[in-house]
Amino acid sequence: MNSPRAKFGGQAKTINQMLFSLQNKVAVITGGGSGIGKAIAECFASQGALVFIIELNASAAADTVKSITAKSGKAKAFSCNVSNQHDVLEVFRSVTNESGRIDILVNSAGIANISKLETTTEADFERVFQVNVKGTYNCMYAAITSMKKQQKGVILNMSSVVSQVGISDRFSYSMSKGAVLAMTLSVAKDYINEGIRCNCISPGRVHTPFVDGFIKANYPGREKEMFEKLSKTQPIGRMAQPEEIGNLALYLCSDEAGFVTGSDYPIDGGYIRLNS
């Protein structure tokens, strides 16, 4: 009988095979122009994947491609707004025409909003929803047909600690990341018989260009003080580095994680469990 378990591998590697290899894998990564998405793209390329970056900022995406190819990796970028389903479908069609398959999809594109319910405008709410929720849906929708045809694939979504704990002034952002977590579980359940795994990562604070820009814009002259204050909200005493998120993403998208699906992985320096 062809059970769901048989579709997810489970074979041990010999000692001379590289662990977490993505050799001959095709990976699509959204938001790969900066921060976590860029770190994931560079990590996957270093492990042998052919990486396709979907990024609204064409210049930033080109910089990531340049960084990857300078180290003999393989990457290509598409400028695309993930909230536009027509454009997303066109990009994914181009990817499958060029590569023949999609083995991995990482939904890392996202935006933040700092406000609570009464200060969240309809426009703010809609903007966060369009990118974080609809963008994730659009890309999964575009990839699922190819993965079903292959009877194999991995989807990794980027949620957040705010999907599990309350954080002040993050109303619309929390809404969006809660939706990402729920969509992850739904897709994992619905496509387990097609050999498709779906998980998500929930980072705490990560030191990205967004954090630096936020501090500079809101606390001019107090950048160092505020950076240290925000860092210490994690029990471990610092923010994560994007590369640390990339390493977890690598594991979850590799064959070594063939038994992992329908799971959320907090990577938060102890924020969820140790802050109570």
Task: Please check whether residue 33 lies inside any domain of the structure.
Answer: yes
For the stretch 219-262, pLDDT in tens is: 999 999 999 999 999 999 999 999 999 999 999 999 999 999 99
Number of other CB atoms surrounding residue 116 within 10 Å: 11
Task: Please check whether residue 5 lies inside any domain of the structure.
Answer: no
Concatenating the DSSP letter of every residue in 159-191 gives --GGGTS--TTBHHHHHHHHHHHHHHHHHHHHT
User: What pLDDT, on the 0 to 100 scale, is given for residue 9?
Assistant: 59
Same domain, residue pair 74 and 197: yes
User: What pLDDT, on the 0 to 100 scale, is given for residue 85?
Assistant: 98
Same domain, residue pair 214 and 152: no
Same domain, residue pair 251 and 229: no
Task: Give this prediction's pTM.
Answer: 0.92
From 271, 77, 253, 20, select the one nearest 158 (Cα to Cα). 253
Task: Please check whether residue 276 lies inside any domain of the structure.
Answer: no
Interior CA angle at 29 toward 210 and 253, to 5°? 110
Same domain, residue pair 42 and 177: yes
Same domain, residue pair 151 and 211: no
Edge-to-edge order in the sheet of strand 264-267: 74-79, 50-55, 26-30, 104-107, 153-158, 196-203, 264-267
Q: What is the DSSP letter of 255?
A: G
CATH number at residue 260: 3.40.50.720
Same domain, residue pair 266 and 214: no
**Cα gap 247→206, rounded to integer Å:** 14
For the stretch 109-122, pLDDT in tens is: 999 999 999 999 99
Query: By mean pLDDT, which of 1-10, 68-77, 182-191, 231-240 is the weakest?
Result: 1-10
| Residue 173 annotated in active site | yes
Same domain, residue pair 38 and 52: yes
User: What pLDDT, on the 0 to 100 scale, is given for residue 13?
Assistant: 55
List Cβ neighbours of 71 (8 Å cut-off, separation of 6 or more).
Answer: 45, 46
Say which of 137, 173, 265, 271 is annotated catalytic. Answer: 173
For the stretch 13-71, pLDDT in tens is: 554 568 999 999 999 999 999 999 999 999 999 999 999 999 999 999 999 999 999 99
Same domain, residue pair 70 and 180: yes
Give me the chain's average pLDDT, please.
Answer: 93
Task: Please check whether residue 13 lies inside any domain of the structure.
Answer: no
**Cα gap 49→40, rounded to integer Å:** 11
Task: Please check whether residue 76 lies inside any domain of the structure.
Answer: yes
Same domain, residue pair 99 and 213: no
**Average of pLDDT values for 79-87?**
98
Same domain, residue pair 232 and 254: no
Is-contact 162 173, C-beta < 8 A?
A: yes
Which residue reads 């095979």 in tokens? Answer: 17
**Cα gap 160→265, rounded to integer Å:** 9
Same domain, residue pair 140 and 223: no
pLDDT at 187 over 80: yes
User: What pLDDT, on the 0 to 100 scale, is given for residue 1?
Assistant: 43
Task: Please check whether residue 14 lies inside any domain of the structure.
Answer: no
**Cα gap 129→114, rounded to integer Å:** 14
**Average of pLDDT values for 94-111?**
97
Task: Please check whether residue 174 lies inside any domain of the structure.
Answer: yes
Task: Please check whether residue 105 lies inside any domain of the structure.
Answer: yes
User: What pLDDT, on the 0 to 100 scale, is given for residue 210?
Assistant: 86
Concatenating the DSSP letter of every residue in 5-60 gives GGGG--PPPPTTSPTT--TT-EEEEETTTSHHHHHHHHHHHHTT-EEEEEES-HHH
User: What pLDDT, on the 0 to 100 scale, is given for residue 15?
Assistant: 45
User: What pLDDT, on the 0 to 100 scale, is given for residue 151?
Assistant: 97
Tell me the pLDDT band of 276, cut-offs 50, 70 and 90.
Answer: low
Same domain, residue pair 38 and 150: yes
Q: What is the 3-state secondary structure (H, E, C) of 116-151?
A: CHHHCCHHHHHHHHHHHHHHHHHHHHHHHHHHHHHC
Boundaries of domain holding 160: 21-204+242-270
